């Protein structure tokens, strides 16, 4: 019998096409794979904030080791170096020289920027008081600096502005630079120009810091023990990216080696080993190709999940090879008929149940889950097709002997022994259900952070640096959104007024607002209108100056500056380019879709562990009635909202998984044409999933989205085993034949290895999936085998054949 | 000037620059009260402030102003920190050439650091018995020097007053006195 060459040709062409797509696809290790894509505007805002909000540009730098003065020197030199780099918008370390760059802009526009500018301040009493205060405040400096500045700015607007900008809590200071509360590390804060979405830009900024520190250290005496520690969202993203890249490579290779060694041990043939991996490689290619063609990017984490495909796709060839070994003369002569007729339908049904399971992931709002679903479906279908149509032609004519005798006999004995104990499965099931019921409130982790690839140690370090720097991780904020930039700025000013009230009542420690850096046009116009006409001002200054002890004749520079300010144009965002003020505005006032959105992050009272959350009632009351037509004002707690959003997705994932399970059940009913047979196939799988879930509950390990997916996979993967036992029962009359049992054992081991390797991953989502499916697959095989005896007896009564 | 200083120093009975600086160098810490008077054509009458001065060798000088409004000015190394109420601002002294000569001159004198003094100033010493006057004229590297002259008067190892004259005619006179023993 001649075989058609077409399957081979089609396969080869598909491989080449796949390789081309894979080579040209865009890959991303962006953390957004772990963030849900959000349907409505508010959720989009939330996701945008989590991804590239103002906090995402913050880098926390800590210098540890060496002595305090060396650390201070390093801090000063590092800050000076970084300030010269265009990658950084601001670098703060407790020295004010960063403000210098901006002081010209601030000074020129002081009458538009100072909160103190009102018509009253430019009346005689106002001027007198302002001058007296300026003299008293600057008295100690005057001896040093001279009075030149005072002739331009006798009312002290410049120091008023600097106070305004410096309203944030100031960290401890040791040897003139910021330091941790215990004084053991020098601290700096840098804001990158690149937003959180621009990973490469942030990566560059991180590299610049590291190399600048590396160059400085040898130049400063005694600095060799000093170490640089970085933290912040950009650092996390970067580390997560490296971890994922590293892990995906490491785990793939480890799985391949372990599975390959196992197969080599059984087959004792390099050719069979390579043939066995052919469906895996084709499957992986098909999976990546499908994802690359359907999504704009392929997430690195999808490739990590894809490792599980190795364990599953290799099973198909295992079944084929062992079956070929049975005939003793390869699959060529008599084998093919029996293979396509008897074994292939079982494999196909198993593959289809897996596809049903994974298809339920496709509508998921988590891009990484949807990609996992598509990747696996395409991969499994491709692997099965290659096994069915391509592999048989490539099998050697010589006999294939799979060496499974000894372990199979052992397993058969174990199963025979356990089969007597199958009634113990009933109480086991009841026990698992009882455990799940008792722990029902603690089964699931409802926090988005459960999926975060950032390690707990890194999160703790970040929290301690933030608490030392007073840069608390912003959780509470007021969000103002509207159609026009200036309208939003105007409303932000009104909100700021109300927040000032909360600050004085100690409800919050402070807040930030874009209006601090750029007043609205209306406010600027009002301030400009407060400035009196030149002759009027001169007359008032004459009186006020005498009262304050100044010579009016020397204040002509002031009078000229005010006259110039009266005619100067209002300040716009463009005028601030290149200053720290611009960064302040840009990070707090962003355009989302068609509307402008201002963020007013709140700092809560207390520090570190004793951080008090903001009283939501007080906050709501404070900002009530500020919304006008076209401008919305809302209070937002990012963590609460994000967890709520995640909770929604968890529930939708539970619904989707249930639907997937139902689809699997329906498929089995239709394919097996028997409810009872379908039920008996599903029973051991359900038992395995229940046991694994109960195990997590007992271990006080709350499950997340990926555990849920893992539970679904226990059905998808385990159905293969159960179907073989079902077939064994219907065909052989009493029980499964030893060779099939051997192939199941081998298939199960490869699957367990693939998921087991995944369970060792440092990336939580990967280990969650692995640690669910690995034990689940073993239990599924075990339970299927234990229950198969019962299947045999009950099924032989109404055997329909497959 | 230098030649004059050297000539005066040569008179054996009077104090020399080295012997004055040696007296300062022996002392690691200093604490005095001060009153400061600023004379400027902007001010109707001289501005008076007062408070305390602290010195810790080699380079920490703190001016703690108590009147008219409390604030601290701390020069330590290249760092100048101003603390007023809850506000604190630090800057690098080397970024502010209009401030550094006075502070550096004062600190170098108090530390007895002749090398630093000679590097930054043209020095003129006149001494009669225990009384001495040290004139420091910044070795101007800038086009428009802010300071014309700094003059430190003392008696033995004690500084009595510091005066400085700016190029625009403004003058600051700081008078030091021993704090009342508490």
Domain boundaries, given as residue ranges, for chain B = 16-68+97-177
CB pairs under 8 A between A and B: 101
pLDDT at position A606: 67
The pTM for the full model equals 0.68
Chain B contact set for A69 (CB, 8 A): 77
Chain A contact set for B51 (CB, 8 A): 140
What 3 state SS string does B38-107 have? EECCCECCCEEEEEEEEEECCCEEEEEEEECCCEEEEEECCEEEEEECCEEEEEEHHHCCCCHHHHHHHH
Q: Which two tokens stand for residue B150?
A: 């700094």
Q: Cβ neighbours of residue A44 under 8 Å, at least 6 residues apart?
A: A38, A592, A593
Could you give the CA distance from residue B81 to residue B73 in angstroms, rounded to a whole number?
6
Give the three-state DSSP class for A507: coil
Q: Which two tokens stand for residue A182?
A: 């215990």
B49, A140: Cβ pair inside 8 Å?
Answer: yes
Residue of B nearest to A154 (CA): B42
Peptide bond into B58 cis (omega under 30): yes
Phi-psi map region of B85: left, alpha, beta (phi>0 left; psi -120 to 50 alpha)? left
What are residue A28's phi and psi, to 5 degrees? Answer: -140, 140
- CB contact, 8 Å: B92 with chain A? yes
pLDDT at position A163: 76
- CB contact, 8 Å: B87 with chain A? yes
Question: A10-29: per-residue pLDDT in tens?
Answer: 888 888 888 888 888 888 77
In CATH, which of 1.10.10.10, 2.50.20.10, 3.30.450.20, 2.60.120.10 is domain B16-68+97-177?
2.50.20.10
The whole-angstrom distance between A120's CA and the closest CA on chain B is 24
Could you give the CA distance from residue A50 to residue A449 in angstroms, rounded to a whole number?
11
Give the three-state DSSP class for A73: helix
Write out residues in chain A with pLDDT < 70, as ranges. 1-3, 30-45, 48-55, 95-102, 166-173, 176, 324-339, 397-405, 453, 455, 468-474, 578, 580, 592-593, 606-613, 728-736, 789-802
A176, B90: Cβ pair inside 8 Å?
Answer: yes
The whole-angstrom distance between B92's CA and the closest CA on chain A is 7
Could you give the CA distance from residue A515 to residue A519 in angstroms, rounded to a whole number?
5
| ipTM attached to this prediction | 0.81
Strands (E), A415-524: 476-482, 510-511
Asked if residue A456 lies in contact with residue A597, where contact means CB atoms within 8 angstroms, the answer is: no
The whole-angstrom distance between A35's CA and the closest CA on chain B is 40
B91, A95: Cβ pair inside 8 Å?
Answer: yes
Chain A contact set for B144 (CB, 8 A): none
pLDDT at position B141: 61
B89, A175: Cβ pair inside 8 Å?
Answer: no
Q: Which two tokens stand for residue A732?
A: 């052989």
Asked if residue A176 lies in contact with residue A94, where contact means CB atoms within 8 angstroms, the answer is: yes
Which stretch of DSSP H or E encloses residue A791?
A: helix A764-797
CB nearest A142 (choices: B38, B44, B88): B38
Mutate to test the interface with A, among B41, B42, B85 (most CBs of A within 10 A): B42
pLDDT in tens, chain B (182 residues): 444 444 444 444 567 888 888 888 888 888 899 999 988 888 888 888 899 999 887 888 899 988 888 888 888 877 788 887 767 676 767 767 767 777 888 888 888 888 888 888 888 888 888 888 988 888 766 556 677 788 999 888 888 999 988 888 888 899 998 876 54
A148, B168: Cβ pair inside 8 Å?
Answer: yes
Could you give the CA distance from residue A336 to residue A343 in angstroms, rounded to a whole number?
10
A170, B86: Cβ pair inside 8 Å?
Answer: yes
- CB contact, 8 Å: B65 with chain A? yes
pLDDT at position A98: 47
Q: What share of chain B is helix, strand, coil (3-state, %, to 5)?
A: 25, 50, 30
Chain B contact set for A151 (CB, 8 A): 42
B90, A96: Cβ pair inside 8 Å?
Answer: yes
Residue of B nearest to A141 (CA): B73
A136, B103: Cβ pair inside 8 Å?
Answer: no
CB nearest A173 (choices: B69, B90, B103): B90
Distance (Å) of CA A242 to CA A28, A29, A59? 11, 8, 18
Asked if residue A611 lies in contact with residue A604, where contact means CB atoms within 8 angstroms, the answer is: yes
């Amino acid at each position: 019998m001649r075989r058609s060459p077409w399957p081979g040709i089609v396969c080869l062409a598909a491989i080449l096409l796949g390789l081309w797509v894979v080579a040209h696809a865009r890959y991303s290790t962006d953390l957004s794979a772990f963030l849900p894509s959000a349907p409505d505007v508010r959720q989009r805002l939330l996701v945008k904030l989590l991804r590239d909000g103002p906090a995402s540009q913050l880098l926390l730098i800590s210098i540890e080791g060496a002595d305090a003065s060396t650390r201070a020197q390093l801090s000063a030199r590092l800050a000076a170096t970084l300030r010269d780099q265009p990658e950084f918008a601001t670098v703060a370390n407790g020295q004010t020289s960063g403000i210098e760059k901006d002081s010209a802009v601030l000074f020129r526009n002081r009458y538009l920027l100072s909160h103190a500018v009102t018509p009253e301040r430019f009346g005689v009493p106002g001027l007198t008081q302002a001058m007296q205060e300026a003299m008293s405040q600057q008295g100690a400096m005057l001896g040093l600096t001279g009075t030149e500045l005072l002739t331009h700015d006798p009312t002290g607007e410049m120091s008023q502005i600097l106070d305004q900008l410096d309203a944030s809590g100031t960290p401890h200071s040791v040897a003139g630079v910021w330091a941790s509360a215990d004084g053991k590390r020098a601290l700096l804060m840098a804001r990158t120009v690149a937003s959180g979405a621009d990973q490469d830009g942030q990566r560059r900024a991180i590299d610049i810091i590291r190399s600048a520190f590396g160059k400085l250290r040898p130049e400063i005496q005694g600095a060799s023990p000093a170490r640089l520690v970085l933290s912040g969202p950009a650092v996390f993203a970067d580390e997560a990216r490296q971890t994922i890249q590293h892990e995906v490579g490491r785990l793939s290779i480890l799985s391949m080696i372990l599975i390959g060694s196992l197969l080599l041990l059984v087959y004792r043939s390099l050719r069979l080993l390579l043939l066995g991996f052919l469906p895996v490689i084709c499957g992986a290619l098909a999976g990546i190709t499908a994802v690359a063609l359907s999504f704009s990017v392929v997430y690195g984490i999808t490739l990590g999940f894809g490792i599980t495909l190795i364990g599953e796709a290799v099973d198909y060839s295992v079944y084929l090879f062992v079956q070929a070994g049975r005939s003793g003369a390869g699959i060529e002569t008599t084998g093919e008929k029996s293979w396509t007729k008897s074994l292939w339908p079982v494999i196909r049904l198993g593959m289809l149940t897996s596809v049903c399971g994974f298809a339920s992931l496709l509508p998921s709002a988590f891009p990484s889950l949807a990609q996992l679903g598509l990747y696996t479906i395409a991969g499994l279908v491709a692997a099965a097709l290659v096994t069915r149509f391509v592999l048989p032609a490539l099998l050697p004519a010589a006999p294939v002997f799979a060496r499974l005798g000894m372990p199979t006999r052992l397993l058969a004995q174990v199963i025979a022994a356990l089969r007597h104990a199958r009634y113990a499965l009933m109480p086991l099931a009841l026990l698992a259900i009882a455990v799940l019921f008792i722990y029902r409130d603690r089964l699931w982790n409802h926090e988005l952070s459960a999926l975060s690839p950032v390690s707990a140690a890194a999160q703790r370090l970040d929290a301690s640096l933030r608490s030392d720097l007073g840069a608390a991780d912003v959780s509470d904020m007021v969000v103002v959104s509207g159609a026009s930039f200036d309208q939003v700025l105007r409303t932000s000013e009104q909100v700021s007024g109300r927040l000032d009230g909360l600050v004085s009542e100690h409800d919050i420690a402070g807040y930030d607002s874009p209006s601090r850096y750029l007043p609205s046009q209306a406010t600027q116009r009002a301030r400009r209108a407060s400035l009196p006409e030149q002759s009027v001002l001169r007359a008032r200054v004459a009186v006020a100056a005498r009262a304050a002890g100044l010579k009016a004749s020397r204040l002509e520079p002031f009078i000229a500056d005010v006259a110039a300010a009266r005619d100067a144009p209002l300040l716009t965002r463009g005028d601030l380019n290149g200053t720290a003020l611009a960064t302040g505005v840009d990070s707090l006032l962003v355009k989302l879709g068609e509307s402008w959105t201002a963020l007013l992050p709140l700092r809560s009272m207390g520090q570190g562990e004793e951080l008090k959350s903001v009283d939501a009632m007080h906050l709501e009351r404070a900002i009530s009635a500020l919304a006008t037509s076209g401008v919305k004002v809302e209070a937002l707690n990012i963590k609460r909202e994000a967890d709520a959003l995640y909770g929604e997705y968890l529930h939708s994932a539970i619904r989707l998984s249930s639907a997937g399970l139902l689809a699997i059940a329906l498929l089995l009913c239709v394919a097996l044409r028997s409810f009872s047979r379908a039920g008996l196939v599903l029973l051991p799988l359900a038992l395995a999933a229940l046991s694994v879930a109960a195990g997590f509950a007992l271990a006080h390990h709350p499950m997340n989205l990926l555990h849920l997916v893992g539970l679904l996979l226990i059905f998808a993967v385990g159905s293969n085993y159960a179907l073989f036992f079902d077939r064994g029962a219907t065909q052989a009359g009493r029980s499964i034949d030893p060779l099939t049992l051997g192939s199941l054992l081998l298939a199960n081991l490869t699957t367990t290895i693939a998921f087991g390797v995944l369970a060792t991953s440092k990336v939580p989502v990967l280990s969650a999936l692995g640690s669910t499916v690995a034990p689940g697959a073993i239990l599924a095989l075990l339970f299927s085998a234990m229950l198969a005896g019962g299947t045999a007896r009950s099924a032989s009564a109404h055997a329909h054949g497959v | 000037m230098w030649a004059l200083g050297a000539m005066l120093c040569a008179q054996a009975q009077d104090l020399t620059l080295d012997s004055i600086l040696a007296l300062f160098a022996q002392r690691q810490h200093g604490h005095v009260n001060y009153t400061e008077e600023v004379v400027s054509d902007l001010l109707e009458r001289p501005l008076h402030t007062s408070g305390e001065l602290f010195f810790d060798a080699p380079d920490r000088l703190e001016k703690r102003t108590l009147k008219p409004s409390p604030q601290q000015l701390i020069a330590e190394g290249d760092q100048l920190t101003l603390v007023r109420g809850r506000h604190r601002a630090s800057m690098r002294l080397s970024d502010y050439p209009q401030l550094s000569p006075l502070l550096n001159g004062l600190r170098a004198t108090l530390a007895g650091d002749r090398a630093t003094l000679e590097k930054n100033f043209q020095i003129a010493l006149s001494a009669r018995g225990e009384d001495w006057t040290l004139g420091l004229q910044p070795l101007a590297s800038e086009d428009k020097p802010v300071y014309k002259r700094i003059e430190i008067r003392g008696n033995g190892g004690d500084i009595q007053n510091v005066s400085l004259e700016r190029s625009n005619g403004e003058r600051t006179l700081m008078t030091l006195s021993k704090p009342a023993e508490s």
